Amino acid sequence: MFGFLLGTACLVGLIWVVKGPRHPACGRWGSPHFRDHDERRSFGARAFSRWLFERLDTTPGQERVLRAALDDLMDGLHAARRDLEDSRKDLARALRAEAFDAEAMGEVFARHDAALAALRRTAMDGLGRTHEVLDDKQRQRLADLIESERGRRWHGPYRTHS
């Protein structure tokens, strides 16, 4: 009987921790100490940026510029994803129709081209800002990370790299 009560108490505690108190001024866990400056980004993205900033030995000013560039890129990616969601609906509508509407599909592809062009501009702008803010040694280290196996397969802050 005691085990049943202990298990129930643990389950209630787990639910309370996962759901947690939500307050507009606080982060997900109900405490301002757990709040990140940008709640749109996931833990993995924040952990990756911390890992990268440690490897590059960046200053707080450089980190602000790099985070802004990453945020802009992520916003562009999310916008492109929303366009793809709309495209799925348009494609399904075209397939359900009696006759295939090539003009409607051309408009869908034109939207894709515009979204990709906007994403390219955002990426180029972010890369330009990154290049400006980093010094020669940091740019070399970033290029080495991108070129190496570690840059392609980042596994998180708690896994080792061989």
Distance CA 62, CA 131 (A): 11
pLDDT for the residue 32: 47
pLDDT for the residue 6: 79
For residue 13, give the amino acid letter: G
Distance CA 126, CA 72 (A): 8
Distance CA 63, CA 54 (A): 10
Of 44 and 124, which is predicted with more confidence?
124
pTM: 0.60
Distance CA 4, CA 18 (A): 21
User: In the numeric block, which tokens belong to residue 46?
Assistant: 């924040």
Q: Each residue of 47-99: pLDDT tens digit?
A: 888 888 999 999 999 999 999 998 898 888 888 888 888 888 888 888 888 88
pLDDT band at 42 (very low <50, low <70, confident <90, very high): low
Nearest to 53 by CA among 142, 129, 128: 142
- In this predicted structure, the answer to whether residue 2 has a pLDDT above a threshold of 90 is no
Nearest to 130 by CA among 76, 78, 68, 88: 68
Residue listed under structure tokens 């507009």: 24
Rounded to an integer, the average pLDDT of 15-43 is 53
Helix residue ranges per DSSP H, 1-101: 2-19, 43-56, 60-96
